[in-house]
Amino acid sequence: MFIHGDSFPEPLVVPTMKDVKLDPSEESTYECFDCGTVVVSATAPGSCPNCGADMRNRSTPLE
Ligand SMILES: [Zn+2]
């Protein structure tokens, strides 16, 4: 027995990737220890282009 007449609303499929800005998987953000210069690079800059100090990966989750 099928009862027609009621149109069930289709469940809305909401795309989960609307405006999600995750960290790019290829690039990381590095911040200078000394002067605070931020470099976004796919490879570790190693030293600050501004002052030559060590840089750290800022995208690494730090608790
Ligand atoms: Zn620096």
Q: Is the pLDDT score of 8 beyond 90?
A: no
Contacts of 28 (CB under 8 A, 6+ apart): 40, 41, 42, 44, 57, 58, 59, 60
Could you tell me the distance, in angstroms and rounded to a whole number, from the CA of residue 60 to the centre of ligand 1?
19
Residue 42 Cα to ligand 1 middle (Å): 18
Sign of the alpha-carbon dihedral angle for 23, 24, 25, 28: negative
More confident residue, 37 or 3: 37
CA 49 to ligand 1 centroid distance, Å: 7
pLDDT digits (tens, 9 = 90+) for 15-58: 665 565 655 567 889 999 999 999 999 988 889 999 999 999 98
d(CA 56, CA 39): 10
Q: pTM for the full model?
A: 0.52
